[in-house]
Amino acid sequence: MSETLLSVQDLTKRFKLRRSLGEFVTRRPGDSALAVDHVSFDLAKGEILGLAGGSGSGKTTLARMLIRLVEPDEGVITVDGRSVRDARGHELREIRRRMQMVFQDPYASLNPRMTVGTAILEAGRVHHQPGSEDGDAFVSKFLDLVRLSASTAVRHPSELSGGQRQRVAVARALAIGPEVLIADEAVSALDVSIQTQLLNLFLDLRDELGLAILFVAHQLSVIAEVADRVAIMHLGVIVEIGAAAEVFHNPQDEYTKSLLASHPRSVPLDASREIRIGE
Partner 1 sequence: MSLLTIENLRIAFPARGGFTEVVRGVNLEVQQGETVGLVGESGSGKSLSCRSIIRLMPSHAQMTANVQFDDRDVMAMSKKALRDHRAHNVGMIFQDPFSCFNPTKRIGEQVAETLRVNAGMNKSAARARAIELLASVEIDRPEQRYRAFPHELSGGMRQRVMIAIAISAGPRLLIADEPTTALDVTTQAQILTLIEQRRRDLNMAVLLVSHDFGVIAQACQRVAVMYGGYVVEAGPVAEICARPQHPYTRALLESIPSLESAGHHVRRAGIPGQPPTAGATGPGCPFAGRCAFARPECAGVDMSLEAVGDAHATACPFVRSVSVTSQAGGA
Residues within the interface to partner 1 (CB under 8 A): 54-55, 161-164, 191-197, 199-200, 203, 218-222, 224-227, 230, 243-249, 258-260, 262-270, 273, 275-278
Compare residues 83 and 158 and give the one whose CB is closer to partner 1: 158
Q: Which one, 9 or 107, has the nearer CB to partner 1?
A: 107
Distance, in Å, from the CA atom of 147 to the CA atom of 74, rounded to the nearest integer, reads 40
CB nearer partner 1, residue 136 or residue 207: 207
Least gap, CB of 263 to partner 1 (angstroms) = 5
Per-position b or e across 260-278, b if 16+ CB within 10 A of its CB:
eeeeeeeeeeeeeeeeeee
> What are the residues whose beta carbons fall under 8 Å from the beta carbon of 61, sequence distance 6 or more?
13, 35, 36, 70
CB of 226 to partner 1, least distance (A): 7
Please, what is the minimum distance in Å from the beta carbon of residue 197 to partner 1?
Answer: 5
| Sequence-distant (≥ 6) Cβ neighbours of residue 51 within 8 angstroms | 59, 62, 63, 214, 215, 216, 217, 223, 230, 231, 233
Q: Which is nearer to partner 1, 14 or 218 (CB)?
A: 218
Q: Which C-beta is closer to partner 1: that of 26 or that of 262?
A: 262
Distance CA 147, CA 161 (A): 14
Distance in Å, CB of 109 to partner 1, minimum: 19
Least Å distance, CB 185 to partner 1, is 12
* Whole-angstrom distance, CA of residue 151 vs CA of residue 97: 27
